[in-house]
Amino acid sequence: MYSIRVSHHKMSFSAAHFVLEAGGCERLHGHNYFVEIYVEGPVDDLGMVMDFRDLKRDAIGICEKMDHRFLIPGDSEAIHFTKEADCYRIVVSEKEYVLPMSDCVILPITATTSEYLAEHIARSLDLPEGLSVEVCVQENVGSQGCYRIPST
């Protein structure tokens, strides 16, 4: 089986978030996230698993949507948010945040951990059929979460 690995300085995003912890909500903080993608499968008639450029372009577009945003886990049962005029009111544990909608992105995940961010990116990629993909999201040097989708 063949594979390709891609990373690029534009396959990154800076974002704010918080995660739930035992007894409440971790403080609001941010990271400079870096994304790496591994794709495995057979080569095509040109000898490629897929074109590096297509994969990078797709990943950069996904990262741009999260860059300089507050990440909201839209599928969380513990984090509640409502729209108010042009703002989101976010309530978790005993904390409340009010942020402009333009500064937020609601993601279809239950928590904004690196693991779930990797899953979101992996599921958002436009890949040819028959390939497996693993996405890793690094939030600090030496700390990354990964998600793998096996080939179909």
Q: What is the pLDDT of residue 39?
A: 98
Given this model, what pLDDT does residue 26 score?
A: 84
Provide the pLDDT for residue 24: 66
Q: Which of 21, 26, 68, 80 is catalytic?
A: 68
Annotated catalytic residue, options 25, 40, 115, 146:
25
What pLDDT is stored for residue 94 in this prediction?
84
- The reply to whether 63 belongs to the active site is no
Tokens of 76: 């969380």
* Token output for 124: 């958002």
CATH 3.40.50.300 matches 2-70+110-149: no
Backbone phi, psi, residue 51, to 5°: -75, 125
| 25 flagged as catalytic | yes
Buried b (16+ CB within 10 A) or exposed e, 8-33: beebbbebbbbbbeeeebeeeeebeb
The model's pTM is 0.94
Say which of 36, 119, 134, 139 is annotated catalytic: 139
Model pLDDT for residues 8-60, shown as the tens digit of each residue: 999 999 999 998 886 667 889 999 999 999 999 999 999 999 999 999 999 99
* pLDDT 10s digits, 75-129: 999 999 999 999 999 998 888 999 999 999 999 999 999 999 999 999 999 999 9
Whether the CB-CB separation of 54 and 6 falls below 8 Å is answered with no
- The answer, yes or no, to whether residue 141 has pLDDT greater than 80, is yes
Domains of the chain by residue range: 2-70+110-149
Per-residue pLDDT, 42: 95
